[in-house]
Amino acid sequence: MRTANPASEIAAALGACRAAFIWIGVFSGFINVLALSGSLFMMEVYDRVIPSGSIPTLVGLFTLVAILYFFQGGLDLMRTRLLTRIGANLDQSLSPRIFDAVIGLQLKAPRVGETSQPLRDLDVIRSFLSSSGPGAFFDLPWLPFYLGICFLFHSMLGLVVLCGAIFLIFLTLLTEIWSKLPTQETARHSVSRNRGIEMSRRNAEALVAMGMAGRVRDRWQEISRNHIEAQQSTSDTSGGFGGISKVFRMLLQSGVLAVGAYLVIGHEATSGVIIAGSILSARALAPIDLAISNWKGFTAARQAKQRLDNLLLLLPKASDPMPLPRPQFSFSVENVAGAPPEVQRIVIQDVNFSLTPGSGLGIIGPSASGKSSLARLLVGVWTPQRGVVKLDAAPLGQWSNEALGAHIGYLPQSVELLEGTIAENISRFDPEATPERIIAAARAAFVHDLIVGLPKGYDTLVGEQGESLSSGQRQRVALARALYGDPFLVVLDEPNSNLDAEGEEALTRAMLGIRERQGIVIVIAHRPSALAAVDLVLAISGGRQQAFGPKDEVLARVLQPTTNLKVVSGAGPKG
């Protein structure tokens, strides 16, 4: 069940900060009015203080302008702090959705190195909000105000500043046009670069053992060169236009001085107008110059927002369905067909079976027959293209992910433990987990003695992928994680691939324990020993169900010499 997704969740999150933006606008108004202090002070000094020689007037004016400067600095600080907090609030409100979307993206379109891009996009938006760029955009609407004052000084001064503003706006448009494509290319090459290093890291052993590291490094360097070139192009474009605008602004300021001097010589303005007009013109055009300097960050933030909007629309937030009672009666698969994410070719089709409490099912078949794909359909990782998978007559889609996960134990073919302690991994990082429940899961997996034999026991830290544990230890701890909370359905995908004889015996006893407590266990097997604790067997080949029934009957049928379907006697290629 899905809810209607807003046109832009990012816009909605920013809209929630509407009051803060209003205050930023108010502060910007006062800041821009107070920015006249310097111009007016210089004009009064040249037109009143110097001709009159009045020291008290000078002291009074200086005291007043100092107070105004302090107010201006305080308001500018408050505006900056507000923008920083808007960025932090945006991050806090969207981070859970982005995290869920990253997980969903990996399930729908698994691409190594790309799944962290949404988090980087969120960082780009937050960083831009915390920079000086938004302040420049809040100052831009005050440009006509400054132009009006310049026209009040003299129409010629106003025209000069107006022409300068038009030219700088033209530079801003050119910056937008010329930097858009390089910025997109930079983002694209950044994704490719991250994907390449991540794939190399995961396959480091194979690269070194087979002498591939140098060649793969050369390919990665080529991608890095493309990324750097695109980044340089973006920086050159942004920096080039920023440099032009800076030079032009200095030239314009000198031009205003020259025009002011001309007006004074012609007795059309006072000498104070020369300095005041110069300062005022610089302040009027400063937001445009600052906007050009920050255009690279603005473009990157806008493109990051577009990518996040597209991602969040692709993976809308799921509503929480009505809670269902704990399953305890049946598990059924009805005419199920499925395909991997972003793949149109069906790899599993026409699978039908039903299991009752206390059942143990073994799924067998040759390599690449679709066994692991079926496992993903059974636990709800993949959504069936056709058919339905049910717990107690309720399709899996009627459960929320959190609620469904409490009733399912899953040991995937590739075992990874998350960074944390063994206890945290077994408890699935449940903040309400008790030592009793954690130890109960470990005892159910017959791994308690192994864990307490470690120097720190259940408090042993495991890093990414559990480097501090051997493959067999990781697999046994992951089995305990699958059994945490006594789930009704437990699906084990080649759970004995890294186990020794002792580990296989513990696995068999754990599977029998699931059946004794009236749970359902499904095991995908390459070794016959994994079938010791099951009473039913499902044979598949080519993604189709070939046989289902009592273990002895199915094995007698599929293991005949005339058939190609067999249970591999050793740990062969994974299916």
Q: Domain holding 362: CATH number?
A: 3.40.50.300
Give the pair of three-digit tokens for residue 497.
């691939």
- Distance (Å, whole) CA 45 – CA 398: 77
Instruction: Give the Å distances, CA to CA, from 163 to 18, 147, 167, 373.
Output: 35, 10, 6, 67
CATH number at residue 287: 1.20.1560.10
> Are 26 and 157 within one domain?
yes
> Are 299 and 409 within one domain?
no
Give the pair of three-digit tokens for residue 380.
């709800």
Domain extent at residue 103: 9-314
Q: Is residue 365 part of a domain?
A: yes
Q: Is residue 572 part of a domain?
A: no
Tally of domains in the chain: 2
> Are 43 and 184 within one domain?
yes
Q: Is residue 89 part of a domain?
A: yes
**pTM exceeding the 0.75 threshold for the entire prediction:** no
CB count in 10 Å sphere of residue 549:
15
Task: With beta carbons less than 8 A apart as the criterion, state whether 356 and 530 touch.
Answer: no
Q: Is residue 276 part of a domain?
A: yes
> Are 306 and 335 within one domain?
no
Backbone angles phi, psi at 336, to 5 degrees: -80, 135
- What are the helix and strand counts (H, E) for the chain? 21, 12
Q: Parallel, antiparallel, or unpaired for β 408-411 and 420-421?
A: unpaired
Instruction: Name 336's Cβ contacts closer than 8 Å, sequence gap at least 6.
Output: 348, 349, 350, 351, 352, 374, 377, 384, 386, 387, 388, 389
- Distance (Å, whole) CA 154 – CA 151: 5
> Are 148 and 87 within one domain?
yes
Residue 389 pairs in a beta bridge with 333
Q: Is residue 250 part of a domain?
A: yes
What is the largest distance, in Å, between two alpha-carbon atoms of the chain?
A: 117
Task: With beta carbons less than 8 A apart as the criterion, state whether 471 and 397 touch.
Answer: no
> Are 348 and 302 within one domain?
no
Q: Is residue 570 part of a domain?
A: no
C-alpha closest to that of 297 among 453, 186, 409:
186
Task: With beta carbons less than 8 A apart as the criterion, state whether 532 and 508 touch.
Answer: yes
Give the per-residue SS3 of 500-551.
Answer: CHHHHHHHHHHHHHHHHCCCEEEEECCCHHHHCCCCEEEEEECCEEEEEEEH
Q: Is residue 352 part of a domain?
A: yes
* 456 alpha-carbon distance from chain centroid: 34
> Are 308 and 335 within one domain?
no
Task: With beta carbons less than 8 A apart as the criterion, state whether 64 and 72 touch.
Answer: no
> Are 336 and 285 within one domain?
no
Give the pair of three-digit tokens for residue 212.
């591939």
Instruction: Give the Å distances, CA to CA, from 139 to 62, 122, 350, 492.
Output: 26, 25, 64, 61
> Are 511 and 405 within one domain?
yes
- In single-letter form, the type of residue at position 391 comes to L
Per-residue pLDDT of the chain (575 residues; tens, 9 = 90+): 344 444 578 888 888 888 999 999 999 999 988 888 887 888 888 788 888 888 988 899 899 999 999 998 999 999 989 998 898 888 888 888 888 877 777 776 655 445 667 888 888 898 888 888 888 888 888 888 888 888 888 888 888 888 888 888 888 788 778 877 777 778 778 777 877 777 777 677 677 777 777 877 888 888 888 888 888 887 777 777 777 877 887 788 788 888 888 888 888 877 777 777 777 787 777 787 777 777 778 888 888 888 888 888 877 776 778 888 899 999 999 999 988 876 768 889 989 999 999 999 999 988 888 898 999 999 988 889 899 999 998 999 888 888 888 999 999 988 888 888 999 999 999 989 999 999 999 999 999 999 999 989 999 988 665 557 888 899 999 999 999 999 999 999 989 888 888 888 999 999 999 999 999 999 998 777 788 899 999 999 888 999 999 998 988 887 765 444 444 333 333 34
> Are 276 and 394 within one domain?
no
Give the pair of three-digit tokens for residue 157.
């001064």
Q: Is residue 194 part of a domain?
A: yes
- Give the end of a domain, one of 314, 341, 368: 314
Instruction: Give the Å distances, CA to CA, from 557 to 125, 315, 543, 564.
Output: 61, 45, 18, 11
Give the pair of three-digit tokens for residue 218.
């050369």
> Are 47 and 150 within one domain?
yes
- Distance (Å, whole) CA 355 – CA 333: 9
Helix 295-314 / helix 271-293 crossing angle, nearest 10 deg: 40
> Are 463 and 553 within one domain?
yes
